[in-house]
Amino acid sequence: MPDIANKRVLVTGAAGFIGTRLLARLVDDGARVFALDRGPVANTRIERAFCGDIADANALRTAVRESAPDVVFHLAASLVRSSELLAFRHAIEANLLVTLSLVEAMQAECVDARLIAMGTSEEYGTAPCPFDEGERESPVSAYSLSKLAMTRMLETLSRVQGLPVTIIRPSLAYGPGQRPNMFVPALIAAILEGREFPTTPGEQTRDFVYVDDLVDALVRASVSGAALGRVINIGSGDAVRICDLATTVERLAGVSGLVKLGAIPYRAGEQMEYSVDSSLARELIGWSATTPLEEGLRRTIDAARSEA
């Protein structure tokens, strides 16, 4: 498989959890890296960071024009998981229309770049597990609906205009540097601080993928001709019960009794199964997850301890 060395690369959402790890990987791989984010980008080894909101058409066009990328990794998104009616308008504007603006900027600046867009396995919603790229999706929130709309738009542009795009649909990413309000970092923080962590009975299963494995999939997709025009699931292939994950974190942290299983009820409509079929990723980009959950959790716990 060809590599990404010496390619000019633009990453949107570069200051986020996944974007930060992607920047480091791309620099290590020898790419010429440019970043776009409205917040500060910590990586000092990239060629340039553009500070601006991706919803600002002028800022977006400037970043595309001046980076002149061979590859664009589009990670920027609004994570509005509400099902309130107003949330749908916001999510459509932030996740669908902004993506359209990015494609327009690329075309306006005559940039024939490969586009790697970040979707989500949440697009499948209540569809049967394991989620397969060929099944009909059933989104349940503003976020998942807007991401599915983005996917369908990019697939259409690939068919009718030849847009060189791949959509990556990851399962639940985790690892060092994740926002503290997400389940895994919130759990780890509570345990390391000696606080009780109330949760549901935890019988629901979830598919967690370590962030560096996801980054590897993004890079592989960007240099694979077979991935053009395709939607590709990225997951560990090993769903785990939430209760088992919680007790594993306790054991790795050397404590017990802080996780209070059953202290809160399941949410209305709680999805009890959540896993993805990643066989297409193996076929098209030669990818499979290499970080076992326990090892990924250990790294995440160690990182949280070092930052405390």
110 — pLDDT class (breaks 50, 70, 90):
confident
Q: How many CA atoms, within 13 angstroms, populate the side-chain half-sphere of residue 101?
A: 20
Residue 60 host element (H or E): helix 57-67
**pLDDT single digits (tens) 177-225:** 999 999 999 999 999 999 999 999 999 999 999 999 999 999 999 999 9
Tokens of 22: 């992607």
CA 96, chain centre distance (Å): 16
Using alpha carbons, select from 186, 175, 179, 177 the residue that is nearest to residue 259: 186
pLDDT at 83: 83
- More confident position, 111 or 119: 119
The mean per-residue pLDDT over the stretch 231-256 comes to: 96
Quickly state the pLDDT bin for 123 (edges 50, 70, 90): very high
pLDDT at 2 over 70: no
Q: Give the pLDDT confidence score for residue 87 in this predicted structure.
A: 93
Distance CA 99, CA 43 (A): 24
Residue 80: its pLDDT value, please? 80
The arithmetic mean of pLDDT across residues 115-142, rounded, is: 96
187-210 burial string, b = 16+ CB within 10 Å, else e?
bbebbbeeeebebbebebbbbbbb
Residue pLDDT, tens place only, 52-85: 999 999 999 999 999 999 999 999 999 887 888 9
CA 147 – CA 145 distance, rounded (Å):
5
Q: Which fold has domain 8-173+211-235+275-290?
A: Rossmann fold (3.40.50)
Task: For residues 200 and 308, give the distance between their C-alpha atoms in angstroms, rounded to a whole number.
Answer: 27
Phi, psi of 172 (to 5 degrees): -80, 105
User: What sign results for the dihedral spanned by CA atoms 143, 149, 153, 159?
Assistant: positive
Confidence tier at 231 by pLDDT (50, 70, 90): very high
Q: In whole angstroms, what is the distance from residue 120 CA to residue 149 CA?
A: 12
243 and 201 Cβ atoms separated by less than 8 Å: yes
Sequence spans of domains, the chain: 8-173+211-235+275-290
Question: Model confidence at 127, in pLDDT bands (50, 70, 90)?
Answer: very high
Give the tokens for residue 68: 């002149």
Q: Is 6 exposed, middle or buried (0-12, 13-18, 19+ CB in 10 A)?
A: exposed
pLDDT at site 162 = 97
pLDDT band with cut points at 50, 70 and 90 for residue 1 = low
Residue range 146-179, pLDDT digits in tens? 999 999 999 999 999 999 999 999 999 999 999 9
Residue 118 has pLDDT above 70, yes or no: yes
Instruction: Give the mean model confidence (pLDDT) for residues 237-252.
Output: 96
